[in-house]
Amino acid sequence: MIDLLPDGVVVSDGDGIVVAINSAAATMLGGGEVGGSLAATLCLQDHDGRSWVGYNRPFDGLNIRSGVPEQAWLLPDGQEVLVDARITRVAPGGAISHVGIVLRSGRGRARLDRERSDLVATVAHELRSPLTGVKGFVQALLNKWDKLNDDQKKLMLTTVHSDSDRLARLIAELLDVARIDTGRLALYPRASDLGRLVERAADTVRAGTARSIAVSLEPGLGEVVLDPDKVTQILVNLIENGVRHGDGEVRVGVFAIPGARVRIEVEDDGDGVAPQIRGRVFTKFWKHGERGGSGLGLYIVGGLVRAHGGTVSVGESSSGGALVRIDLPVHGSAG
């Protein structure tokens, strides 16, 4: 039965003799058979050349010892595996009856490490630009305060304020990503005028662009129970994404659909998203085109929509650009 397991399994008795080994472990270790010694079979080393058995000494130590925590070790071919063990005894505090060791590929941890590296690189890149602006203008103000007129000072301070807003927003995005990843995203739903939220989000984006943003609201929508702050964040992200990737007008439509749900559509006149990659749009660090942002905005949109019990998808607009469609329940959130 243990041959059916995807992870490698090695079991020894209290004398350090292997009593069971599955095919996955034998493949990883380059061999091994029942009856051999655990020390010879478990040919794992760390970066200092120490063996797993010699370093962890599973048969020694306190008689209340119940296992060895997960550690990273190297196979004979140099690949990393994650190894942990459980120690069982014939009776509490008694002699060891068996030691079970599990070996699993380190690729999963390597993938997490790459994601962390991607996050660090993204944060560093996104922080560098506004920080450079803030530092440069503040330095200029300090060095040339008496030589600058009021209009020049106001322009510099306005730029510093704008860059500070960018920094604050990036930090807020990172916090939202952490909450979504850990399942700690909190919603505070209440009856809200969705039309007013859409208009407010459109006005927020209009303040920073010369592009046209058209809003179309179905009459008589009434109030919807949702978290107004989070929905505004969703709308601002989507409208800004349309402005960033489109070339013409960004259109926002809101209307009711059957099933006590409301639909929000945001479409642009850009190049759109190819059908074969639309499934990746709401994943972390996904970017498209030369004008991609941090790669976190749409990931946050997807997380916030799901938290409301809604669905989000990407299609093609009538002009060939991207069409993002969100369906939200009218009465409350799924939490």
pLDDT tens for residues 5-43? 989 999 999 999 999 999 999 999 988 889 999 999 999
DSSP state of 303: H
| d(C-alpha 218, C-alpha 76), whole Å | 66
pLDDT score at 292: 55
Topology of domain 190-329, CATH: Heat Shock Protein 90 (3.30.565)
3-state SS of 246-298 is CCCCEEEEEEEECCCEEEEEEECCCCCCCHHHHHHCCCCCCCCCCCCCCCCHH
Minimum mean pLDDT among 57-61, 101-105, 182-186, 322-326: which range?
182-186
Q: Enumerate the domain spans of the chain.
A: 2-105, 109-182, 190-329
Topology of domain 109-182, CATH: Helix Hairpins (1.10.287)
pLDDT score at 157: 92
The backbone region for 272, taken as left when phi is positive above 0, alpha when psi lies in -120 to 50, beta otherwise, is: left
Give, rounded to a whole angstrom, the gap between the first and last alpha carbons of the chain. Answer: 40
Is the torsion defined by CA of 13, 15, 18, 19 positive or negative?
Answer: negative
Give yes or no for residue 110 having a pLDDT over 80: no
Strand ranges of the sheet holding 261-267, from the earlier edge strand across to the other edge: 213-217, 250-257, 261-267, 322-329, 311-316
> Mind giving me the DSSP string for 55-99?
HH-TTSS-TT--EEEEEEEE-TTS-EEEEEEEEEESSTTS-EEEE
Return the CATH architecture of domain 2-105: 2-Layer Sandwich (3.30)
| d(C-alpha 81, C-alpha 7), whole Å | 10
Whole-number percent of the chain with pLDDT over 90: 49
pLDDT tens for residues 194-238? 999 999 999 989 988 888 999 999 988 878 899 999 999 999 999
